[in-house]
Amino acid sequence: MPLARSLSVTSLSGLEEWDEEFDREDAVLFEIAWEVANKVGGIYTVIQTKARLTCEEWGENYFLVGPYMESSVRTQVELIEPCNATLRRTIDKMNSSGCKVYFGRWLIEGSPYVILLDVGFTAWSLDRWKIELWENFSIGVPWFDREANDAVLFGFLTAWLLGEVCTQCDEPPHIVAHFHEWLAGLGLVLCRQRQLPVATIFTTHATLLGRYLCAGSVDFYNKLAEFNVDKEAGDRQIYHRYCLERAAARCAHVFTTVSQITAIEAEHLLKRKPDIVTPNGLNVKKFSAMHEFQNLHAQSKARIQEFVRGHFYGHLDFNLDKTVFLFIAGRYEFSNKGADIFLEALARLNYLLRVNHSEVTIIAFFIMPARTNNFNVETLKGQAVRKQLWDTAQTVKERFGKKLYESLLVGQLPDVSKMLDKEDFTMMKRAIFATQRQCLPPICTHNMLEDSSDPILNCIRRIGLFNSAQDRVKVIFHPEFLSSTSPLLPVDYEEFVRGCHLGVFPSYYEPWGYTPAECTVMGIPSVSTNLSGFGCFMEEHIADPSAYGIYILDRRYRGVDESCNQLTSFLFQFCQQSRRQRIIQRNRTERLKYTVNFQIIRDCQPQNATGFRYPRPASVPPSPAHSLHSSPHHSEAEDEEEPYDEDLEVEKDRVNIRQPFNLPNRNKNQTVGLPEKN
């Protein structure tokens, strides 16, 4: 998706004239980000998912640079000796000069090399480097901003590393350095100021000021050209951060961003038009059979149902087979991520389900990390009670089975009245009494440090969704990243997404949107908005996104109340789908992922080519907008009568969809052009 070329800062050249083309084997790529082997936000996913392909392209000449975080390194990084002689000399020189630099392999797909810089060990240089930052760039960083202090340390260490690599090279090096976000951006600025022979790329995944403005409830996108950026940054006490980000964008040889909507935002706020838009992609696993991912959905859903049985013990008065799991996940930004509008829509959905006497129950999960001190005791007790009931049932089953077996051995039909004795009944009664509960199931699974001021909890108190028996919508707030080692909900994020029915991401500020993209890759329908990069991308390339399980919420041209009503309509109509309709829709969503990833690759090609729009399915799509009964209840007979042939569906899509382009053959000796001297 090439844009008009914009010039970088010419007064900070430093990059010598390179040949127009060079062998990739002679070049070295350093990719620098604060989230290398350090899970903080979406950039971690960006780097992790493209590591394998980048390693295949660049081989031994690809190195990731990030901060040394001991807790992450213990479980994610294998520390080894550098295999490259130049890097070995560089790291030894830096370690002997008062730094701590680690080298290893990141234990993810592709196993890329990582260089980890210990910013805490060099904190003694912070004041000296801040003085240099002020004298050379007139950017002052306050002492109390710890994140900005880390950015200063990380930036100077990165520039030191790249400068030392250039010094230790036997021949003039061809080095490309790709910096992600403002936290790594200072290193790029220092490379240009010190005139290092390094080609620089800066990618912004979201602008700092844009994130803060959207959180302040302003009409951001419709007034984008009217903001006084210096004043707005100063009013929010982030002017020093904004200056670091803007300097990186202006100094980079190539400036990129992840979506067209963020490109417009960057042009107005950072005062430079991106050279190219590179939409984020995801690794796509192709299943050998269409039903394989449906089986994975069923298995993951069963794991979530086990958690729900424990969480709602004593109040499990709903049918889990008629329960729909919704979820929202991501950075805890209450309004930016759309948690506010999602909660309001859930309250309205609860009313609609109750007045229509629906048998469907909705359980909405909020997976947003917040400050906690431990698991909620009542939540842990629920899982213990569930396990106790399971153990009791297994014990009684074994006794029953043994008596049944012995009766059949002697050729007699068992006397059912004698199969269970008094001890069995006593054991079962005790187990039933243990499920008695005097309080409602908890909303939050953890003890919140700021319970009284937490936005999600306060909103739940206002709308009155307390998981009571009358509510058809239940809410579970899990303020921690999911992990398969958790004693509460032992599933990782991918497994959790596969087990849910619908991901809901009504974001107001979402430069790209990995969460709905991940849902699509896993064959799970999702709700996105026309203010997210992913939502805009889908609207541009798909004629009817809802037919493929991607619902685009209008948050740009509608007010909050109208958008909330639209989201409520999406959710209510999704609940009306039969199980069969949801299966068909998941099949379409899963098939869509291959074309979406191909189109992302195509849009990143420099050639100008005509685009295409993914058409509506040839058959009538089972989406809420097109194929619903008037009643939310569907009988088994209705499900059986719905004609559907999976092979026929696939063939119809194949006939009606023309491929966007042919992927070019990759050649390891392929030459790449570098930016000209500015």
pLDDT at 659: 44
* CA–CA separation, 386 and 308 (whole Å): 10
pLDDT at 345: 98
Q: Which amino acid is at 61?
A: N
The answer to whether residues 551 and 529 touch, using CB atoms and an 8 Å cutoff, is no
pLDDT at 437: 87
CA atoms within 13 A on the CB side of 492: 1
- In three-state secondary structure terms, 314 is coil
Whether the pLDDT of residue 625 is over 70: the answer is: no
* CA–CA separation, 281 and 486 (whole Å): 29
pLDDT at 595: 59
According to the per-residue pLDDT averaged within each range, which of 124-133, 171-180, 210-219, 595-604 is highest?
Answer: 124-133
Q: How confident is the model at residue 190 (pLDDT cuts 50, 70, 90)?
A: very high
Q: What is the pLDDT of residues 1-41, one digit of tens each?
A: 444 334 343 334 444 554 556 566 779 999 999 999 998 87
Query: What mean pLDDT comes out for the span 363-375?
Result: 95
DSSP class of residue 673 equals E
Lowest-pLDDT choice from 160-169, 354-363, 398-407 = 398-407
pLDDT at 286: 56
pLDDT at 3: 43
pLDDT at 607: 42
Q: How confident is the model at residue 420 (pLDDT cuts 50, 70, 90)?
A: confident
pLDDT at 20: 53
Q: How confident is the model at residue 210 (pLDDT cuts 50, 70, 90)?
A: very high
* CA–CA separation, 658 and 654 (whole Å): 8
Whether the pLDDT of residue 208 is over 80: the answer is: yes
pLDDT at 290: 58
The answer to whether residues 660 and 610 touch, using CB atoms and an 8 Å cutoff, is no
Cα of first residue to Cα of last residue in the chain, in angstroms, is: 23
pLDDT at 603: 55
Q: How confident is the model at residue 669 (pLDDT cuts 50, 70, 90)?
A: very low
pLDDT at 617: 61
Whether the pLDDT of residue 71 is over 70: the answer is: yes
Residue 510 tokens, joined: 């979402």
Q: How confident is the model at residue 84 (pLDDT cuts 50, 70, 90)?
A: confident
pLDDT at 411: 87
DSSP class of residue 468 equals -
pLDDT at 287: 52
Q: What is the pLDDT of residues 483-539, one digit of tens each?
A: 888 999 999 999 999 999 999 999 999 998 889 988 998 889 999 999 999 999 888
pLDDT at 12: 41
Write phi, then psi, for 542 (nearest 5 degrees).
Answer: -125, 130
How are strands ordered across the β-sheet holding 323-329?
473-478, 361-367, 323-329, 502-504, 526-529, 550-553
Total-model pTM = 0.80
With a pLDDT cut of 70, the percent of the chain lying above it is 82
Lowest-pLDDT choice from 58-72, 313-327, 409-423, 520-534 = 409-423
**Four-point Cα dihedral 291, 292, 296, 297, nearest 10:** -20
Write phi, then psi, for 29 (nearest 5 degrees).
Answer: -110, 120
* CA–CA separation, 573 and 563 (whole Å): 15
pLDDT at 506: 97
pLDDT at 521: 87
Whether the pLDDT of residue 596 is over 70: the answer is: no
Whether the pLDDT of residue 178 is over 90: the answer is: yes
Q: Where are the alpha helices (H) located in 198-252, listed in sequence order?
A: 208-215, 229-235, 239-251
Taking alpha carbons only, the member of 403, 444, 173 closest to residue 311 is 444
The answer to whether residues 594 and 587 touch, using CB atoms and an 8 Å cutoff, is no
* CA–CA separation, 129 and 337 (whole Å): 36
Give the residue with greater pLDDT, 650 vs 191.
191
With a pLDDT cut of 90, the percent of the chain lying above it is 63
Residue 106 tokens, joined: 């990141």
Q: How confident is the model at residue 227 (pLDDT cuts 50, 70, 90)?
A: very high
Q: Say how many residues make up the chain.
A: 678
pLDDT at 643: 53
Q: How confident is the model at residue 119 (pLDDT cuts 50, 70, 90)?
A: very high
pLDDT at 356: 95
pLDDT at 649: 60
Q: How confident is the model at residue 597 (pLDDT cuts 50, 70, 90)?
A: low
Whether the pLDDT of residue 560 is over 70: the answer is: yes
Mean pLDDT, the chain, rounded, equals 85
Give the residue with greater pLDDT, 404 vs 526.
526
Residues 6+ apart with CB under 8 A from 434: 385, 388, 389
According to the per-residue pLDDT averaged within each range, which of 106-110, 296-300, 501-505 is highest?
Answer: 501-505
